[in-house]
A and B are shown apart, each in its own frame.
Chain A
Amino acid sequence: QKEVEQDPGPLSVPEGAIVSLNCTYSNSAFQYFMWYRQYSRKGPELLMYTYSSGNKEDGRFTAQVDKSSKYISLFIRDSQPSDSATYLCAMSVRDSSYKLIFGSGTRLLVRP
């Protein structure tokens, strides 16, 4: 079983739609959960992070963690064409929190 699994997409939605992106993981030692956005020919950019089960909201973005199910989600409300990018989930353990284990990324396309 892979440590972090993420559907590669692509996911195509109309502008204004609510987008749901998900990852599952197998390592119960993961303590930190992050979402990165990567535009074409750019490096990953941190969107959100959380370290506990539950929801965390930042503007149009909501990160959700369910440690009991080993499942994390990122919701994007009122999606915009500028949200079109690859979204990477990443996780790390407490003692090496900089050593990120990435998912394969989901490519999102928001159609005007």
Chain B
Amino acid sequence: EPEVTQTPSHQVTQMGQEVILRCVPISNHLYFYWYRQILGQKVEFLVSFYNNEISEKSEIFDDQFSVERPDGSNFTLKIRSTKLEDSAMYFCASSTIGQRPEKLFFGSGTQLSVL
């Protein structure tokens, strides 16, 4: 069964450093998303991406965050200058087109620890 792949599974970084979280969505999917889950809190929406641009972003997704689809297969989330409060599990998801509601397929997540 096709799946969304995320790397690395765990990333440790120092406060103020830049991190890039990587995702390979399901190959025929056209919508891409990032969600995150801070320990003990709910899974929350960060951003959606379609046709090489952001279609919607949450209040959390400030100027420190950016997303990119650098090639035909990868989808990345960059945090420019990490803060302690960015520590969370980051989930990438993708969905196909033409469905309502969209059926989101999630990856296994990248646990980001900011020290």
Residues of B within 8 A of A102 (CB): 42-44
A98's partner among B91, B102, B106, B107 (CB-CB below 8 A) is: B102
* Residue-wise interface mask of B (72-111) relative to A, using a CB-CB cutoff of 8 A (1 in contact, 0 not): 0000000000000000000101010000111111111100
Residues of A within 8 A of B33 (CB): 98
Known: A41-B108, A42-B108, A43-B109. A97 touches B42 (CB 8 A): no
The interface-forming segment of A44-52, A53-61, A64-72, A74-82 is A44-52
Task: Tell me the bound Cα distance from A92 to B4 in angstroms.
Answer: 22
Residues of B within 8 A of A92 (CB): 101
**Nearest CB in chain A: distance from B5 CB, A:** 11
**Interface: A13 (CB within 8 A):** no
Enumerate A81-98 residues with CB–CB distance to B below 8 Å.
88, 90, 92, 94, 96-98
**Do B56 and A34 touch across chains, with their CB atoms under 8 A apart?**
no
Known: A98-B31, A102-B44. A43 touches B4 (CB 8 A): yes
**Do A32 and B101 touch across chains, with their CB atoms under 8 A apart?**
yes
B43's partner among A49, A88, A94, A98 (CB-CB below 8 A) is: A88
**Nearest CB in chain B: distance from A100 CB, A:** 6
**Do A100 and B4 touch across chains, with their CB atoms under 8 A apart?**
no
**Do A43 and B107 touch across chains, with their CB atoms under 8 A apart?**
yes
Residues of B within 8 A of A100 (CB): 35, 43, 45, 104
**Nearest CB in chain A: distance from B10 CB, A:** 10
B108's partner among A34, A43, A51, A99 (CB-CB below 8 A) is: A43
**Do A44 and B100 touch across chains, with their CB atoms under 8 A apart?**
no
Q: Ordered nearest first, which 5 A-B pairs have the shortest CB separation?
A: A43-B106, A97-B101, A32-B101, A102-B43, A98-B102
What are 10 A-B interface contacts by the 8 Å CB criterion? A41-B108, A43-B106, A44-B43, A44-B106, A97-B102, A98-B95, A98-B104, A100-B43, A102-B42, A102-B44
